[in-house]
Structure 1
Amino acid sequence: MPILGQNQYGKAENRVVKITRDGATHHIKDLNVSVSLSGDMDEVHYSGSNAHVLPTDTTKNTVYAFAKEHGIESAEQFGIHLARHFVTSQEPIKTARIRVEEYGWERIEHTREGAHSFVRTGQETRVTQITYDGSAWEVVSGLKDLTVMNSTDSEFWGYVKDKYTTLPEAYDRILATEVSGRWRFNWTDDTQPAPDWDASYAQVKKHLLQAFAETYSLSLQQTLYQMGSRIIEHRDEIDEVRFSLPNKHHFLVDLEPFGLKNDNEVYFAADRPYGLIEATVLRDGVEPRIPVDLSNL
């Protein structure tokens, strides 16, 4: 006899832009919020009874109402407000998962009065996932689409070779990747002070970028580990870091047919296929909990 397994429902990708007007100075928070709820939902699947179902349209409306009522201090804090509301206000709902993407804006300097003109920064997308089951929190934050490059100080040689290996060893190469990273906070209890979410994000990004820039890389794996290690060593509020790093290959172009020497100057940037390097870096004694596939987070 078939039985019902894991299930959840909600409203995905609610785009909300909150403008805070401080006189002539305005502030923007630009979010994409997805709500997923689970709990006592067997009957809606078995018989179609909606008695325990909060409409997904209501969850959408809640996102917009909370943007007004609570404001958006940070992606994490906004997700915490929403998750707590759904679990504590609806008895059949036992767990709420809130996923948020945040898009950055910066001010355009100009000579007119007021500070209300902005340009999308576009360097990366900030992300977070809040999960609450009525007693404990799990907050996993991160970023995606952060493209970085070292134009030197990277090598790749001494690897295994077989009859299918054609790749030449490289002793001075471009190392480029598009960082997708997640980090899990050790804050789980409402009775404890929560981290400063924005400050933590800024510091994590700083450390991962500094580690990327300062590591003389013999492999992308080595660079990944240094990025994760630096975060764990410098940020006490974080217990686990996971990175997914596609190797954005840059191949030297053969210019000899044109009588030209290519002295590590002209490259072809290949978009596919690409090497994909993934790993988790943990605080000693901590069990991993971030999913291997970051696209599901």
Structure 2
Amino acid sequence: MAIVLGHNRYGKAETRLVRVHRDGDTHGLVDLNVSIALAGDLTATHLTGDNSGVLPTDTMKNTVYAFAKQHGVGEPEAFALLLARHFVRTQGQVESARVSVESFAWDRLGPHSFRRRGDHTRTATVTVTRESTQVVSGITGLVLMNTTASEFHGFVRDRYTTLPETTDRILATAVDAKWRHLGDDADWDKSFHGAVDAMTGAFVNTYSLSLQQTLMSMGTMVLTSRPELAEIRLALPNKHHYLVDLSAFALENENEVFIAGDRPYGLIEGTVTRDDVPPATTEWYL
């Protein structure tokens, strides 16, 4: 039996970058977490420790900071594309560069004053090879809630089922979503906010009989309204809210007082895609 090296990659993870763009007394602020992973002809370093084809991960970190100064930092997708293309172009041994970016939003309070926005994180992952480019945008931790217009009944029951059926429940989730672009030259800001608006609108306006139905509605709305997107993957934790029993206090609880559950929770995942688009070049949702 032979032992062989399988798929591998290496890089610099979570390089924290804060870039201040100074325009007179008015400053712009970009706050990113950048991770880089390179793959290619790296057999020698794994088998013999020969590092002649290894670009140090410290160099990757330095490249992030140098590019932030030289080129500025705009939309996360554009910055990730710049970095990924650089590594594939300049490193002959590199066949694929994957750059993932978390973008933390700040709200302006004044010309040079800001407040960190903590309700969600914007993401972008770019994969560049010598033959193709793939751009995936996304969002994590987008917390949404409907206090009614949600039911759950008619489900499978077995000897271990205790969950009661309901025709009126709170539906709450913290959306993690990634969507794959058809090209690599979109209006990234407009596309991102358009996708988020479509997801949010679908959540608000769907009378839900299951969180799966809501997921499909959200994905469908995104693809219907954003022609530049090929597919979207959503992960929706079901943030359970349990009705508090107030009978000990001679009080009725008419769907007004709840315990917000922490864990365990249901997790609904799914991909909504167009049936007429080219397949992804890499496992884009990982």
Q: TM range, normalised to the smaller chain? A: over 0.9
Cα distance in structure 2, aligned partners of 1:12 and 1:39: 18
Number of matched pairs: 284
- Do the aligned partners of 1:240 and 1:288 also contact (CA within 8 Å) in 2? no
Equivalent in the alignment of 2:175: 179
Equivalent in the alignment of 1:250: 241
Cα distance in structure 1, aligned partners of 2:204 and 2:25: 39
1:103-252 aligned at under 5 Å gives the runs: 103-109=104-110, 115-187=111-183, 194-252=185-243
**3-state SS in 2 of match to 1:6:** coil
Match of residue 259, structure 1, among 234, 247, 250: 250
Equivalent in the alignment of 1:54: 55
Cα distance in structure 2, aligned partners of 1:36 and 1:13: 11
Q: TM-score, normalised by structure 1?
A: 0.93
Bigger mean CA offset, 279-288 vs 59-68: 279-288
Equivalent in the alignment of 1:191: none
Equivalent in the alignment of 2:73: 72
Q: TM-score, normalised by structure 2?
A: 0.97
Per-residue deviation, residues 112-162 of structure 1 (Å, max 9, x unmatched): xxx110001112100111000022101111000111100011111111112
- Do the aligned partners of 1:207 and 1:227 also contact (CA within 8 Å) in 2? yes
Please give the root-mean-square deviation of Cα atoms over the aligned residues, in Å. 1.3
Amino acid at match of 1:85: H
Amino acid at match of 1:276: L
- Note if 1:272 corresponds to 2:268: no
- Do the aligned partners of 1:84 and 1:134 also contact (CA within 8 Å) in 2? no
CA displacement at 1:287 relative to structure 2? 6.3
Cα distance in structure 1, aligned partners of 2:158 and 2:277: 38
Structure 1's consecutive aligned runs of 4 or more residues displaced over 4 angstroms after TM superposition are 287-292
Amino acid at match of 2:271: T
- Which segments of 5 or more consecutive residues in structure 1 lack a partner in the other structure? 110-114, 189-193
Q: Percent identity?
A: 52
